[in-house]
Structure 1
Amino acid sequence: MAASHNKETEKQRWDRNFADLLQELRVAQTGVQILFAFLLTLPFSNGFPKATEFQKDVYIVALISAAFATAMIISPVAFHRALFRQGRKPELVRYAHRMASGGLGFMLVSMVSSVLLITDYVLDWKWAVPLTVITGLWFLSLWAILPFAHRNWGEDEEDAEATESADRDS
């Protein structure tokens, strides 16, 4: 797979990067929209008036961070519309990358806040805090720590393939 990327032009690379990013945004967009919709309906449920002030504060954090995540994850569409056919794909890809990353950050805050809200409502505080911390650490592990720790995974394989190829050629 790496060999095919070596022969692509810079324009082809930007097009591929943009297509990859769009696929990622489609997945994230669906998730954040479902969460946002759930949070928008929550105050109208029968049990919401029983929520404590703390739970209502946590709800506001979850709602606003879901709204910010939604805006950031959808914003590359508006940016693309504004730059359509102007040959500015590199700028669009860089912008979309930043917005997707920021959107994921807000989505993490919203999801963890939602877990705190629900676990505090359903369970006791002594269970809500550890479950929320575990959830936050799980998200951070999968969305930040593992990806950054393994950014160069493919490089070792590419180096090995290049070495094997060079050995066969000689």
Structure 2
Amino acid sequence: MVQAAERRTGRDETEDERADRMWGELMQEIRVAQMGVQILFGFLLTVVFTPKYADLGHTEHAIYIVTVVLGATATGALIGPVSLHRLVSGRRIKPRAVEWASRLTFIGLVLLLVTTASSLLLILRVATHDAFVPWLVTAVVAWYLVCWFVVPLWVRRRYTTK
């Protein structure tokens, strides 16, 4: 009787091959996040030059400044892996570069989440002064947390075979 083939759970690749594959996947992920953060950051930079900016209150000015700084830090973290790759390319440390680029990307995503939440808070405070604004922003942040972190962590835990 022929036994069923043993189920393979991994890839047959060297550490360098794995690093190359993971680097390519990471770059594709970063392209998506970079586009979003750069568009948001570009929009934020224009706000200060609009006539309505002068009419904003002290709190809205503070939220705006914090949001711009968050957007700048998110942009830096999400572009950082490109610079990292360029500066360490050819040094035979790609597995370490992938680790650090992955960390920068995760930090960038967290900063993008906070930047988006802060932007939403500012926009809704300007659009309406209703007391439901913090609740609405909290609900959106909770949704982002579910989409960006809870579902991926659940899938990782549920389907990881190691």
Shorter-chain TM-score above 0.5: yes
What is the letter of the counterpart of residue 118 of structure 1? Answer: I
Residue 53 of structure 1, CA deviation: 0.8
Contact kept, 8 Å, 1:58 with 1:117, in 2: the verdict is: yes
From 133, 143, 147, the equivalent of 1:138 is 143
Aligned to 1:111: 116
Residue 118 of structure 1, CA deviation: 0.4
For the pair 1:41 / 2:54, whether they are aligned, the reply is: no
Residue 4 of structure 1, CA deviation: 8.9
Aligned to 2:126: 121
Spell out the pairing of 1:79-98 with structure 2 (5 A cutoff). 79-98=84-103
Contact kept, 8 Å, 2:15 with 2:95, in 1: the verdict is: no
Give the alignment's TM-score, normalised by structure 1.
0.85
CA distance in 2: counterparts of 1:125 and 1:109, whole angstroms? 21
Alpha carbon RMSD of aligned pairs, Å?
A: 1.8
From 88, 94, 107, the equivalent of 1:102 is 107
Contact kept, 8 Å, 1:68 with 1:106, in 2: the verdict is: yes
Percent identity between the aligned chains?
Answer: 35
Q: Deviations over 1:52-81 (max 9, x none)?
A: 111111111111111000001101111111
CA distance in 2: counterparts of 1:4 and 1:110, whole angstroms? 38
CA distance in 2: counterparts of 1:68 and 1:86, whole angstroms? 27
CA distance in 1: counterparts of 2:132 and 2:38, whole angstroms? 28
* Number of residue pairs aligned between Structure 1 and Structure 2: 156
Contact kept, 8 Å, 1:70 with 1:103, in 2: the verdict is: yes
5+ unaligned residues in a row in structure 2: which ranges?
A: 1-6
